[in-house]
Structure 1
């Protein structure tokens, strides 16, 4: 690897121009607020030599003999031409140009000026994202874009979950589409945040319709950095810090636990001198670090960028660690004046040591995880004594959490390569022909080794219990995935007087293939050098394997029309064909139309002095969702199924059976969306804003429909397209930018989204149960007409019984005692249908995991060489289900400290907490809590060295900073975190969630 990097570095170095006679350095800033301007084109007049300013607005340019004039240009700003003379430092202040339209942003298969866009889009710059010490750019985007809810996990290597304008499906996929330099993907954990120039989010159906079947859940377009004309530029960025658990639930200590257990079961646990804090046993303060080295530059014929990045996140749970190495090489070549070629390529290698994985080590069949066992483990048992583990399972309790970690080695190794190449040809000035081919290859090796251990004195302090593993086990699973996409487009740009046209037509083809094989074997030696499937007990071997393959073929077109820059019209049409659907429904059309009126450009608005921009826009679009199993419409036959004759299993004969009931005409889920918006800029563009209203309706959503069978083993359900789901909402965005004096500038930005999700109609479909937490609670969510998807559906508590008399007096209208087996201290549940029995028909809706509103606040300030930024994220109005509190497996599980002191007793007749109990309470609103929270996502303070020192030290820029991620969270929820990802039917349930982490880090950005 070192030889490869050195060779590549020397090859890149060899392409550079020779050093010139003198160097001019400086910084380019915004005239309004003094903030640095990255990406400004700095060009030596009369030549093709130049560069772009870095993240701090700095540049360093070499001038040859006779070269004395530099031009500075940037979209949205007035260009400047400066004669250098004998100066070596030239700082430039750029003013906005009212005659120019806003910045250019990347949209599907092209670029558009911001003010010409008729759909709902948002853009986040890479420098905003790279400030935060996170794994993926989507985590850093949290709270920065209205209409985009991002649910993060603290687990190393985990991707956040994204919901664009609500949940639009119950049973299909909800993954947003990422487009990285033209390569389509569902996961960007391999993308280095430092490589990203910007992210454009296509939120509404009009903007996303160009991606057709991939646009139903929103589209995120990522553009990575490229080289620029100029001398070689080297930058190095890093941050190093620590992570710790941001919020821990206070559990009962040994004395409190003993008190509770005695009250619940009548006898106290054995006396013990131990008082174990299981969280301290399995958690740690973990190191994290990130390093990025970039080399870029080029000439008028070619530009290049090479970047290497390394990230290491230990994870706060012992046994966790995530490492990632990324390499990126982006090149562009101007072959002729009208012919251009380029490619973007990346390689990622990651190792995820995941001690948090689910582990089954219970002879009773109970499955737990390290963190859930730490929540339940009895505190009077020691964690480890003289190399032997405390035997929590000997007391009828969960397994020892420390042994959970030490007895398992779980590792996932992944290699991934992404790349795309393009050829662009302009036969005439108004026509661009472009072809591009992108590929994404991933190979993943999952290995889990389970050590052997026995319930005797060699392993445990006390023998016995049910935590054991008689034989070691090795499981290996290899997954290989390959996807390619081929785009061919033609773009025509023409202007006739006040009429401007841009027409895009093209085709795109995509193919995906995945295969996986797995094998396991028992009695494999504990030596890691012998962890192979061919070692161990051959008679215990089990193998499995499967695959998936699908393809899409699409035809697309888009027309952008503008009249005088005032009246804008966009029409998009795409036809998608997907092999995931039967031939009769394989192709679907996705049209959209958007219109906008730039009122501020009308003649009657000239000289009014209030609005710098006033724009009204409206759009309608249709997109699809084919994220269903590839075999969803194909009947499958199971072989070697025993069929008993005359009802006797002894007479059973093997045969074939069609076990799956399918709909052979399954169809697309279709999203239709209306969007209306107002955009404005006032007070010399110091205050900018946007207000959006959207109505997003999903038709033909997949749902379960009951099927009455005339024979067989009873009624079953079939998945088919009959449901409708709606999301309606309002998005508000406001940003203020100003300066005080010459040295101080600041920005204040905020966005809020109000969204209402509702199932409109099941149309004969069957309401869907979900959200199982075990422990006899059955389901916890129910998706039904008139309710949000995945709403909590539980019993309603009416307080606590204080006496036997109250139990006897709680009757239905017919005088029947409703809870005859209850005892004082038990919850009283509502008999909703007055039948005298508490059963599932008495459940009622108790809120949803989907927030009523979520918002972000982003602050920034610059004072001389100091910079400051603060981002806040919050959501309100949602509910979460405390599943870990509900799923008490053994009855002797530990309890939260509040349950000890707030419980009902004969002397404390509280009505909110039941008496001490052994668990397995019915699913009720007792476990449903507020999920509202507000969090300081990031706080960063930086200092950039003055230009005089930079010139003396011969470096382009140097900035040092300190930062904190998830610094503080205010929440009402009593659990670990209210951010709980999951599928549409079971989100918002905390059962074995990884705790949220808080990070403190420091770093530097240096350029040469």
Structure 2
């Protein structure tokens, strides 16, 4: 008992002494070159997990520090400082840039380099430059941020993906999208069946950076899939020796459509019908319905992110959970996402073996709205009511025979709201992308590493769609039902050696390796066959193809002035016959770092000046799901069975094939200059390129009997594209409290088909660009000497007041008759140039940014107006009338004039794409940030339609994008 009493007294005595022994240290961490504070610096007691990070002003406070401890200050891009603690309560630290670290910040294929040592057209886009807001699809982050990269945003459907084009694309019928590589795993360029966007698996909040490889000197290491550029996406990882941090981030959004299609209101429509001869005004109703108001609503959404991360000396982890829910502006449209992202890093054997595991799991839930309601809302009679108590169609008004029977008018427009609400179309996608990367430093040769990169991308998609028997859209006496199940699998194994070393004044970097990737798709399902009145199982459709590759690259930095790099990839694809299966893709590039020459080394204002040039070859083998060189038989679908007596039997249909089909081949020349002045306060680059695609994969007509179809995908023709890309960035203000940076890029481009026909006919062309109004009508063409998105129209004749004269066109060939020969190529949908402008400002803890984008020199075909002619409303074969675009009041066209260039309208625009305001409240233990963002804010355009930013240049029943307002809150401790 005495012993216990004495021990307790001793503990009570020592307890306050322990408080005195543990000290608190605070201070500020600043940048050596500018004196500016550095937020996010890791401050840790070496050998422990006791640590913190600096706030927005570079301030930190760390507790429980004892004399003799070593404080470690580390931040990416700066040399780590280790300072012994000697009892001081205030410790200010200055960090200097670590050139060795900065030299390893840009990823390239199967390796990395620095921006100053890159000889190809390579650009890195970091989080500080990303667009803000409730971003669901990753490509939205970099819209307008990179010269030569055009990202056309998705439609207004929630979760939908945009169209990405790097240097305009290079093919006609083959895939024109860039290769996307996520943490070392190249994604299937065909996408994932059932997913609104294949990139939605990657949580935008977890992206560390994008690296865009534009020219063939940079992309040819990826060979057969790199003809349209490469985008490398790196996701966030834990940081070594960083304390435990937990972040909760939420973004809540609301959005509404910006405008509606201009159609006649009820009064205008009644007046028009009553003014036309041979019409029956008694068919009109007594209502005044705005059908577009009926199908659109306010979209709401929320994105929640929970992130935990911590770093030790040899192990780091980062775990993120994301929940996304968004409704569309079109009623019944919904997108939901639950994803789990894990990143683990482990160093073993005295850091000679580095293991990295990343895994992204996602479950997407979608309710797909019937977008046919958009066209229905434009065309439906505005004098009719939404509901009819006598209607057998669940109470929705529908046109009926004599408006008294229960039989719908089959050719009449369907009730747009019923089209949405009587349609059940849901789908679930379960997907996982996992990558294990192991890098081993070979002990017997300094600088030699061996890398194994194994990954898989697996997705399952299941869903169903149905309509009840009470829907007027359903033909017959039964409803519709379809159920489907699909599997997408992508397996990857890369192995390669990398050797880096310095010999005298020459730095060398060698890479050699092997890659194997296999793609598998399986489509199955069942449906209700109205002919047999039974549920019928679909015959499984299986597609499988593989790529095997050998690659090598050698790079030299001579005297820190001259750069030389060359690569070669040898690819084999199972899509082609054995004799055409393999092809090689070489590249070579050089650079000259002028800023390291003696005459500029001490100039005082030149920070960087490098000229570079390169040549490379890439290919394209994305020709669709089938093997183009094999004869394949496809099972018949519903309604295509063959009848023997009273029984119907499925058939096998032979598909077209070309046994000699082979790679598209692309040659690319690029010359560029990178510059930076006044400590890089002004910096930028200029690139000029010339690109030629031969053995073009295109769908072309073939003579009757020459194949099993009248259209065949084969190698025919050439395209040429050329362009100039300019990017300029500058820091207008740099100070401790206020910073202002501006980045601007502009791209001039020109695409041309230089050969197309297998023969010598100079007038040969292939119709393209289907339009609404009549089956088979097209408004564009492929023809030698023209852009692939060129319109094909008659030249309209106007009266003295500038009004179009119906049916009057220019007689181009002078034969005194208007025939098909008078249709001419005219204007194009691709812009002559496009630009992006980003401003970023911060004052202390307040930050503000905005992004403008613009397209110029492109045109659009206004199909919503070309469908507006009096006959479309009055010359109906049954007892109903269809609404029209208000443009009919200007033209008074009686019959359709689909091919008049009157409907080819300028699509130039400038758009305030994104504007964001945020404030960070730094506290000792917790950082709290709030932000407000508006997206799709403002359009400046003369286009008469709903939205000029439509990728293919044909405006027909476009799902409108919404203007969104987003409130964001973030809590970190």
TM-score, length-scaled by structure 2: 0.87
The 1:269–1:740 alpha-carbon spacing in structure 2 relative to 1, beyond 3 Å, is farther
Alignment of 1:541-690 (within 5 A): 541=536, 543-629=538-624, 630-637=626-633, 659-690=654-685
Residue 960 of structure 1 corresponds to which residue in structure 2?
930
- TM-fit CA distance, 1:936: 1.1
- TM-fit CA distance, 1:216: 1.0
Are 1:866 and 2:846 an aligned pair?
A: yes
Query: Gapped runs of 5+ residues in structure 2?
Result: 1-20, 190-197, 404-408, 638-643, 875-880
1:742-763 per-position Cα deviation (integer Å, ceiling 9, x unaligned) = 3211111100000001011125
Residue 227 of structure 1 corresponds to which residue in structure 2?
238
Residue 771 of structure 1 corresponds to which residue in structure 2?
769
Distance 2:455 2:436 in 1: 7
- Give the match's secondary structure for 1:317: coil
Residue 441 of structure 1 corresponds to which residue in structure 2?
458
The 1:755–1:631 alpha-carbon spacing in structure 2 relative to 1, beyond 3 Å, is same
Within the candidate set 141, 162, 165, 1:163 is matched to: 165
Are 1:734 and 2:755 an aligned pair?
A: no
The 1:445–1:885 alpha-carbon spacing in structure 2 relative to 1, beyond 3 Å, is farther
Distance 2:936 2:94 in 1: 35
Residue 933 of structure 1 corresponds to which residue in structure 2?
909
- Give the match's secondary structure for 2:269: helix
Residue 994 of structure 1 corresponds to which residue in structure 2?
959
The 1:976–1:58 alpha-carbon spacing in structure 2 relative to 1, beyond 3 Å, is farther
Distance 1:373 1:313 in 2: 24
Within the candidate set 867, 871, 892, 1:915 is matched to: 892
8 Å contact 1:197–1:224 — kept in the other structure? yes
- TM-fit CA distance, 1:739: 2.7
The 1:638–1:480 alpha-carbon spacing in structure 2 relative to 1, beyond 3 Å, is closer
Are 1:352 and 2:363 an aligned pair?
A: no
8 Å contact 1:801–1:826 — kept in the other structure? no
8 Å contact 2:566–2:589 — kept in the other structure? yes
Within the candidate set 926, 945, 956, 2:921 is matched to: 945
Residue 324 of structure 1 corresponds to which residue in structure 2?
337
- TM-fit CA distance, 1:880: 1.2
Distance 1:86 1:469 in 2: 88
8 Å contact 1:101–1:115 — kept in the other structure? no
Residue 105 of structure 2 corresponds to which residue in structure 1?
104
Root-mean-square deviation over aligned CA pairs: 3.3
Within the candidate set 474, 478, 481, 1:474 is matched to: 481
The 1:431–1:325 alpha-carbon spacing in structure 2 relative to 1, beyond 3 Å, is same
- TM-fit CA distance, 1:383: 1.7
Within the candidate set 827, 831, 835, 1:851 is matched to: 831
Query: Gapped runs of 5+ residues in structure 1?
Result: 1-19, 358-368, 456-465, 524-535, 642-648, 807-823, 904-913, 982-986
Within the candidate set 309, 314, 318, 1:296 is matched to: 309
The 1:704–1:319 alpha-carbon spacing in structure 2 relative to 1, beyond 3 Å, is closer
Distance 2:725 2:846 in 1: 33
8 Å contact 2:104–2:112 — kept in the other structure? no
The 1:857–1:82 alpha-carbon spacing in structure 2 relative to 1, beyond 3 Å, is farther
- TM-fit CA distance, 1:657: 9.2
8 Å contact 1:124–1:199 — kept in the other structure? yes
8 Å contact 2:497–2:513 — kept in the other structure? yes
Distance 1:209 1:53 in 2: 42
Are 1:285 and 2:298 an aligned pair?
A: yes
Residue 183 of structure 2 corresponds to which residue in structure 1?
181
The 1:682–1:415 alpha-carbon spacing in structure 2 relative to 1, beyond 3 Å, is same
8 Å contact 1:234–1:294 — kept in the other structure? yes
8 Å contact 1:938–1:967 — kept in the other structure? yes
8 Å contact 1:443–1:480 — kept in the other structure? yes
Within the candidate set 213, 216, 219, 1:205 is matched to: 216
Distance 1:613 1:740 in 2: 19
Distance 2:57 2:208 in 1: 14
1:546-592 per-position Cα deviation (integer Å, ceiling 9, x unaligned) = 12110000001111100121111111111110001111110110111
Distance 1:109 1:320 in 2: 41
8 Å contact 2:37–2:736 — kept in the other structure? no
8 Å contact 2:40–2:53 — kept in the other structure? yes
Distance 2:230 2:706 in 1: 46
Q: How many residues align?
A: 903
- Give the match's secondary structure for 2:901: coil
- Give the match's secondary structure for 1:212: helix
Are 1:786 and 2:775 an aligned pair?
A: no
Distance 1:55 1:486 in 2: 42
Residue 641 of structure 2 corresponds to which residue in structure 1?
none
Alignment of 1:874-889 (within 5 A): 874-887=854-867
8 Å contact 1:959–1:1005 — kept in the other structure? yes
The 1:262–1:541 alpha-carbon spacing in structure 2 relative to 1, beyond 3 Å, is farther
8 Å contact 2:36–2:736 — kept in the other structure? no
Are 1:974 and 2:951 an aligned pair?
A: no
1:935-966 per-position Cα deviation (integer Å, ceiling 9, x unaligned) = 111111011114xxx01xx21x2111111111
Are 1:274 and 2:287 an aligned pair?
A: yes
The 1:321–1:33 alpha-carbon spacing in structure 2 relative to 1, beyond 3 Å, is farther
- TM-fit CA distance, 1:267: 2.9
The 1:276–1:169 alpha-carbon spacing in structure 2 relative to 1, beyond 3 Å, is same
- TM-fit CA distance, 1:992: 2.7
Residue 9 of structure 1 corresponds to which residue in structure 2?
none
- TM-fit CA distance, 1:231: 2.2
- Give the match's secondary structure for 1:884: helix
Are 1:307 and 2:320 an aligned pair?
A: yes
The 1:687–1:279 alpha-carbon spacing in structure 2 relative to 1, beyond 3 Å, is same
- TM-fit CA distance, 1:113: 0.9
Are 1:722 and 2:716 an aligned pair?
A: yes
8 Å contact 1:637–1:656 — kept in the other structure? no
Distance 2:812 2:83 in 1: 80
Distance 1:988 1:35 in 2: 48
- Give the match's secondary structure for 2:777: coil
- TM-fit CA distance, 1:869: 0.6
- TM-fit CA distance, 1:885: 2.8
8 Å contact 1:44–1:67 — kept in the other structure? no
- TM-fit CA distance, 1:61: 5.7
Within the candidate set 269, 277, 289, 1:257 is matched to: 269
Are 1:432 and 2:449 an aligned pair?
A: yes
- Give the match's secondary structure for 2:200: coil
Distance 2:622 2:748 in 1: 27
Are 1:333 and 2:346 an aligned pair?
A: yes
1:29-66 per-position Cα deviation (integer Å, ceiling 9, x unaligned) = 65778887567565545779878779997877666433
- Give the match's secondary structure for 1:139: helix
- TM-fit CA distance, 1:73: 4.6
Residue 797 of structure 1 corresponds to which residue in structure 2?
796
The 1:43–1:711 alpha-carbon spacing in structure 2 relative to 1, beyond 3 Å, is closer
- Give the match's secondary structure for 1:189: helix
The 1:553–1:118 alpha-carbon spacing in structure 2 relative to 1, beyond 3 Å, is same
* Greater Cα offset, 506-515 or 757-766: 757-766
